[in-house]
Amino acid sequence: MKPSAFVFDAYGTLFDVTAAARRAAADDPSGQLQQIWPRLADDWRRKQLEYTWLRTIMRQHADFAEVTAAALDWAMEAQGLGADHALRQKLLALYDELDAFPEVAGVLTRLRETGVPLAILSNGTPGMLKSAIDHAGLGDLLTAALSVEEVGIYKPAAKVYAMVEARLQVPPSKVLFVSSNGWDVAGAAHFGFQTAWVNRGNAPLDRLPHVPRHILKDLTPLADLMK
């Protein structure tokens, strides 16, 4: 079945979550970040996701900007950078302007030419998503950017995925949901979406119910699904 809508996760799928730490390291005259930025970026991302899941379980919601800052605080302290307030502010500012992966604009352009709606469904706040979309120049290609803040709970809660049908008026079975996160793909497939897992790092398949229908190295093959 050809999809009637494409819905994308944002962070790690369209936007490179390591870009903030990498760009900060490239700009660091001391060279201190050159060796540790990959670990800093990995810790930041891991804690960011952990906090969304734990806050959901505890029913203690905070928006993704707050969660992202808290995760950064942990990651910086783990690397002995906890007292560097200027670096903290720089990293948070860079996170609002993450680089899109190289193929993203071209793939979205080709998909848009088919006439299907294209949307983002993300944990990010509306403000964070707008900043990332504007920085990448993707605004004209997207039909909607849906934030979990509309429902006050994080993925993989079903309430999040239900936002898609309400906004796009497309039934779940005709939505292709695309994410680089295996747990997100599992949640979306459980909800009833067709799914594609973007496995950029050649990771093992997550041991979760509802395996992805498609496994991709990047977004490039998506346009072929409309032929």
Sign of the CA dihedral with 108 first, then 110, 112, and 118 last: negative
For 204, the token pair is: 């093992």
Q: For residues 20 and 28, what is the distance between their CA atoms, to the nearest angstrom?
A: 12
Here the tokens at position 105 are 């604009």
Helix ranges restricted to H, the chain: 19-26, 33-58, 64-78, 85-95, 104-113, 126-136, 158-168, 182-191
Give the active site residue among 9, 16, 43, 99. Answer: 9
- 190: Cβ–Cβ under 8 A, 6 or more apart, which residues? 156, 158, 209, 210
- The CB-based long-range contact list for 99-102 (8 Å cut-off, 24+ gap) reads 99/15, 99/16, 99/19, 99/23, 99/136, 100/14, 100/15, 100/16, 100/132, 100/136, 100/138, 101/14, 101/15, 101/16, 101/200, 101/218, 101/219
Q: Token pair for residue 10? A: 């944002």
Per-position b or e across 46-56, b if 16+ CB within 10 A of its CB? ebbbebbeebb
Q: Is position 9 annotated as part of the catalytic site? A: yes
Catalytic residues: 9
